Amino acid sequence: MSANALVDFAEPIQQSPGITQSIVPTPRGRASWSGLLRLSLVAVPVKAYPASTSSHDVHFNQLHADCGQRIRYEKHCPVHGKVEATAIASGYPVAPERYVIIEEAELEKLRPAQDRALTLERFLEPGQVDPVLYSGRSLYLLPDGPAARHPYAVLAQAMQERGKWAIGRMVLSCRRHLALLRPSRCLLALHVLHYPAQLRASPGVEGELRSGSVSAEEEKLAGMLIDASSQPVPWSEYRDDSADKLHALVEASLQGQALAAPVVEEAPVLQLLDALKQSVATAVAATPAPTGTPPVCKAKAKGKCPRRSACLNCSHPCSPAGASPLTQRSISSK
């Protein structure tokens, strides 16, 4: 989902010497986190806002099948019955049926002052980050207040021009997390990562896969298929239509109709080589012929674009300025 679908753009920032003029979006909703973005002695007040929304998710209510009443859930004590939320405490188990009660104020004392900040510890190339480390939680990091905009812009532009990402640690939801910070045009995007120790090792599977052999012709045809299918991505066509399908099902049910089951198309079973050949022929035939003159990267034409991730001054697809937020990760990683 693009950033434009989630934010409203405010007035442009007053341009500072040596800093590219940019705009700061005003996210909708409440900040998920606020603190300091630290780099050595530089500290920038920032707030983090969710990069995605769950408002379009499909939800069901659980009902009693016999009477249609909604199922209710209550906090229940086996001795005293229903318990109000204000009467619930947090306990740490130290033995069977024995707990130490921990108050929220006591937990706050365990949180050191530096954990109220995201401290950037290392900068790295985008290709050094294994995508399996991404936990699935992403946020936009924005300056907190007018005074924070200039140092924020300095850091964002420096990372963008060098094609660098950064890792650090921060506390979210009372837990210390590993985080990745990357530039996304004038914004800084934050991705919560798994710790490497949380990943499952797969040496046995990798050993089995390495034992296979790929012929030169198979590799060539697979490469041709990839090349023929490498076209600009129409991001607007990628949308979750689950809610639309559910709405159609509900409307059909209200009218006493039944939706037709989708027809399953059976694909022919082919040998790998034949499947590759036919797929390449189909993909090449469907590839549109080039029209007009392809866009030229102005910075690259002037010899000032050694990295595609550093190309900031044109609308060529290799430029983050001309790419969607979803493509910027792949652009930066090349």
Q: Is residue 179 within 8 Å of 118, Cβ to Cβ?
A: yes
What pTM did the predictor assign?
0.63
pLDDT in tens, 48-94: 999 887 666 677 888 888 888 898 888 889 889 888 888 888 898 98
Which H or E run includes 156?
helix 149-162
CATH of residue 158: 2.40.290.10
**Which residue range forms the structural domain that includes residue 134?**
3-52+109-197
Grade residue 255 by pLDDT with cuts at 50, 70 and 90.
Answer: confident
Angle, helices 272-286/216-228, rounded to nearest 10 degrees: 30
Say which amino acid occupies 333. S
Is residue 223 situated within a structural domain?
no
> Would residue 115 count as lying in a domain?
yes
DSSP string, 4-49: GGTEEEEEEPPPPTTS---EEEEESS--SEEEEEEETTEEEEEEEE
What letter would DSSP give residue 313?
A: S
| The predicted structure's pLDDT at residue 124 | 95
Q: Which of 185, 186, 231 is nearest to 332 (CA)?
A: 185
d(CA 283, CA 229): 6
> What pLDDT sits at residue 269?
83
Q: Provide the percentage of residues in the chain whose pLDDT is more than 90.
A: 30
Q: Whole-angstrom Cα distance, residue 104 to residue 87? A: 14
Q: At residue 163, what are phi and psi to the nearest 5 degrees?
A: 60, 40
**What is the spatial distance between Cα 58 and Cα 233, in angstroms, rounded to a whole number?**
26
Position 130 in a domain: yes
Core vs surface per residue 187-219: b (16+ CB within 10 A) or e: bbbbbbbeeeeeeeeeeeeeeeeeeeeeeeeee
Within 13 A of 92's CA, how many CA atoms are on the CB side?
7
In a domain, 30, yes or no: yes
Total domain count, the chain: 1
For residue 181, tell me if it sits in a domain.
yes
Q: What is the phi/psi pair of residue 226, to 5°?
A: -65, -45
Residue 246 domain-assigned?
no
Residue 39 inside a domain? The answer is: yes
Looking at the domain assignment, is residue 122 inside a domain? Answer: yes
Q: CA-CA distances (angstroms) from residue 74 to 77, 88, 89, 98?
A: 10, 12, 16, 23
Query: In which band, very low, low, confident or very high, does the pLDDT at 317 lie, cut at 50, 70 and 90?
Result: very low
Beta bridge partners of 76: 82
